[in-house]
A and B are shown apart, each in its own frame.
Chain A
Amino acid sequence: MIKALIKTYHSKLNAPTSPYLLGAFRVLFACAAIYSALRFLLKGWVNELYILPQHHFHFYGFHWVQLPSNPLWVYVLFGLLILSAVGLATGRFYKVFSLAYFLLFTYFELIDKTYYLNHYYFISLMAFAFIFLPMNKALVLGKNKPEFVPFIYIVLLRFLVGGVYFYAGIAKINADWLAGEPLNTWFNAFQYLPIVGDTIGHSNTAVFSAYLAMIFDISLPFLLCFKKTRTLAYIAALIFHCLTSLMFPIGVFPLIMSLCALVFFPAPVWEKRLIQLNVITKKAFQTSTLKGHNFRKVALLALLICHFILPWRYLLYPGNVMWHEQGFRFSWRVMLMEKNGYTELNVITPSNKIYLVDNSKYLTPLQVKMMSTQPDMILEYSQIVAQDFEKRGFEKFKIEADSWVSLNGRKPFRMIQNNVDLRTQKSGFATKTWITHWHDQAL
């Protein structure tokens, strides 16, 4: 019985499937990647976010990822990133371009965690998956011989996309979110709008929206799987992404996710639409010539395991993850909190002279803002300052932080314990005992 079941699943997963879903999705994703990169370039962010800052905040273990000293090379690398996305869209030299896109995009992401965004992480994951997914079996420029692809690759891609929504929904099951924060705070800012302002600003709207968004995120991957609910669910997803795009500055995230949700439509539907749009003509597929089938599956499964396990690592740390942020990144905690505050460092010499550190001497305004509320960045900042003071001839000094942070509209609380010398603290995955305990305060 079990054997028969496994056999059935095995044959279903390896069933030859139309390659147009993967091919067309590759083109759409690459176009979004090109748009995203061009937008980044044209807004001057390469200069502003990468070249201008004197210091960058590195992800733990990735300090070796550095920018070239000559700014021209930064632009050259960014140009190569755009070129690789264009190559990805064409489908030619697929292995080279998919690998190049993954490496270059991830390289820029690893330069500075100040700019970490969930959707950038997602693009990195997708780019990694693209290396192993047979996305170049259809719609390849100059080639007109589509090949069947095994169905399992489409399933794996759906898991990757569905996981983002599902985990974003799970992350919303927390006291603040279900009490309507930070949505209530954000919605308040729209009270000025005529006609709808009062409704948006009403506290019940925030609570209702919070529950709706949580249910929507958790259920969307499942609703997209069923034929009866798929179209409606996709329309709901489009409306949801349009609204978030209008209300919040979240860049290309709504665009990327709107495109990605399309992978839940069956391969034959994609083929049918492409024929209707005169992009392709109906023709017989060739047998798959895919090599390294097992290796691809193993690589993609490893990716999915990371995708599904990493979000849970916050359970290893005591306290509120939104406060201490240990295990916060790479876990699809999207639009989950409103954190504001300030952090200043005091360098204290053995003779008890106190030097207050002017943040603007070391960091850009955006870096100051992000550092001020993220403990691991505060620690790294203290290391940057320590190096500078050492260079200036200071010895045996302590560095203490004066850090006050407001979470989801609460009054500000001290985030870093008083009298803790940050110079004696180590970066890493161990619990950061120098972060103050979260004393839950009613919102």
Chain B
Amino acid sequence: MKFTKFLLPLSFAFSLLLSTACTEKDNSQKVSCSTSQEEVLLAYATQFNLDLENCSSAFSNLQTANWASISDSELETNKQTLKAARIAYNTISSYNFGPAISNGVELNDRFNIFPANETAIVSNALNGEQDIEALFKSQVGLEAIEYLVYNIDSIAHNETEKNAVIQHLQAQISAITSRINDLHSAYSTGGYIAEFKSNTGSDDGSSLALFTNQFVQDLETRLRNNKLRIPIGKFNGGTPLLDKVEGRYSNYGLEFAAQHFNKLKNLYGTNNDSLSLASYLSCLGENDLSQSIEAQFTTTATAYETLIAANGESLKAAIENDNANVSILIDEHQKLVALIKGPMLSALGVRINYTDSDGD
């Protein structure tokens, strides 16, 4: 009896609370997710493997290219091979986790640093330096290779120096090729696909968290900041820093950025894909969000197309002649970052920029 006396007013109070509580979200649209996370992870790991295979192949082409005693036309061919390798590298930029971290060094933190340290590179080249591992990151990687390929005649003044430069160039290409081959092997034969697939969940360290964190970092830092904002001078009061474009010597900076972006767009996918981040979000009941992100990817892609149509592949030319449209492109990137970093990661239950700490 006493218990009933206590229970009645309590029930009344809670009923009052429940009835006055405002419920706004219409969850009736939510459907049960028939796609398992494992399937999505497997699809992504398979895609990573394929991209790494292509990248590995592009770098093998670069490695096997004839560099000694070549004609101008052969040098031009090699430059195109280098361009293909750089584009291939941009397609694996967000796979910077798991086996991409070797001895604590991230692939992206080693081989795609720009601007390159020209003075040090010349010195290394003329000395025929072979120990690439021992060099600072501003002296190695893609930008350093491009500097050597595009400036070989001005660096080497005689045959001996030219041989030394070519030896150093080949060592540089071998170092990056070897690292990419190792990374590809970790996927193709080393069992990382299975490991990635089975590491389900959304906790820190889960495959979904590793990939999406790198996806965000790629979009926000490596692409938007490093490739667009820094060269246009956003951090510098608007004064362009044209020596800080990617592909400074080849002038393919805009093409590299666009290809990088297209890869991220394809990785995100569309709602119509059977297995992609887009369709997985829809599967989690976030169809509107998924479509908003997809639409913003399309808008940003259009901004790239507009810029390329007017300025070709050179970011330097775009900054100099079409600054307003580069700013528009950056703004579109910003809108995309807001959607991806905010609601998308929330919906996936992934912590961004996770450092090991507690929360409540």
Beta-carbon contact of B27 and A355 below 8 Å: no
Contact B27 A180 (CB under 8 A): yes
> Which of B24, B202, B225 has its CB near the most chain A CB atoms (within 10 A)?
B24
The answer to whether the Cβ of A17 comes within 8 Å of any Cβ in the partner chain is no
CB distance from B109 to the nearest CB of A (A): 13
Q: Is A442 an interface residue (CB 8 A)?
A: yes
Q: Which of B33, B289, B343 has the most CB of A within 10 A?
A: B343
Tell me if A249 counts as interface (CB < 8 A to partner B). Answer: yes
Q: Tell me whether A406 and B346 are in contact in the complex, defined as CB-CB below 8 angstroms, given that A175-B22, A178-B23, A356-B229 are known contacts.
A: yes
Render B22-35 as a binary contact track against A, CB cut-off 8 A, 1 for contact: 11111100101100
Decide yes or no whether B155 CB sits under 8 A from chain A.
no
Q: Are A191 and B342 in contact (CB under 8 A)?
A: no
At the interface, yes or no: A369 with Cβ under 8 Å from chain B?
A: yes
Query: How many Å lie between the Cα of A353 and that of B235 in the bound state?
Result: 10
* CB-contact partner of A340 in B234, B235, B345, under 8 A: B345
Query: Contact flags (1/0) for A337-357 with B, using CB distance below 8 Å?
Result: 010111000000100011111
User: Are B357's CB and A204's CB within 8 A?
Assistant: no
Q: Please, which residues of chain B bring their CB within 8 A of the CB of A358?
A: 225, 235
Contacting residues of chain B (217-247) with chain A, CB-CB under 8 angstroms: 220, 225, 229, 234-238
Verify if B324 is at the interface (C-beta below 8 Å from A). Answer: no
Q: Are B359 and A178 in contact (CB under 8 A)?
A: no
Does chain B have a CB within 8 A of A282? Answer: no
Alpha-carbon separation in the docked complex, A294 to B26 (Å): 55
Judged by a CB distance under 8 angstroms, whether A318 is at the interface is no
Option from A250, A353, A408 in Cβ contact (under 8 Å) with B360 = A250
Which residue in chain B gives the minimum CB-CB distance to A408?
B346
Are A248 and B359 touching (Cβ within 8 A)? yes
Q: Is the CB of A181 within 8 A of B25?
A: yes
Tell me the bound Cα distance from A400 to B289 in angstroms. 28
Interface band, chain B? 35 or more
Shortest B23–chain A CB gap in Å is 5
A-binding segment of B48-56, B122-130, B348-356: B348-356
Closest B residue to A194 by beta carbon equals B36
Given B10, B38, B357, which contacts A192 in the complex, CB threshold below 8 Å?
Answer: B38
Measured CB to CB, the closest approach of chain B to A395, in angstroms, equals 14
Q: A184 in the interface, Cβ–Cβ < 8 Å?
A: yes
**Residue from B21, B24, B285 within 8 A of A188 (CB atoms):** B285
Residues 1-37 of chain B: 1 if any A CB is under 8 Å from the residue's CB, otherwise 0?
0010000001000100110011111110010110011
Q: CA of A189 to CA of B283 in the docked complex: distance in angstroms?
A: 11
Assess whether A409 is in contact with B347, with CB atoms less than 8 Å apart. Answer: yes
List the A side residues contacting B10 at CB < 8 Å.
Answer: 219
B203 at the interface (CB under 8 A from A): yes
Q: Is the CB of B346 within 8 A of A182?
A: yes
* B115 interfacial contact with A, CB 8 Å: no
Chain B residues with CB under 8 A of A411: 289, 292, 339, 342-343
- For B40, give the chain A residue with the smallest CB separation: A192
Chain A residue nearest in CB terms to B339: A412
Q: In the complex the two chains form, is B343's CB within 8 Å of A45's CB?
A: no
B32–A201 contact, CB under 8 A?
yes
Closest B residue to A336 using CB positions? B360
The reply to whether A215 and B14 form a contact with Cβ atoms under 8 Å apart is yes
Query: How far apart are B5's CB and chain A's nearest CB, in angstroms?
Result: 12
Which residue of chain B lies nearest to A354 when distances are taken between CB atoms in the complex?
A: B238
Known: A340-B342, A366-B357. A179 touches B347 (CB 8 A): no
Tell me the complex Cα distance, A201–B27, Å: 12
Cβ of B248 < 8 Å from any Cβ of A? no
- In the complex, chain B residues whose CB is within 8 Å of the CB of A214: 17
Q: Which residues of A contact B (CB under 8 A)?
A: 43, 45, 48-49, 115, 117-119, 173, 175, 178-182, 184-186, 188-192, 197-198, 201-204, 207, 211, 214-215, 219, 228, 248-253, 334-335, 338, 340-342, 349, 353-358, 364-366, 368-369, 402, 404-406, 408-412, 440, 442-443
The contact sample of 14 A-B pairs, CB cut-off 8 A, is A43-B356, A175-B21, A178-B18, A182-B346, A184-B27, A188-B284, A207-B27, A354-B238, A366-B357, A402-B334, A406-B346, A409-B347, A411-B292, A440-B24
Q: Which 7 A-B pairs have the closest CB atoms?
A: A189-B349, A251-B358, A406-B342, A192-B37, A203-B27, A443-B25, A353-B237
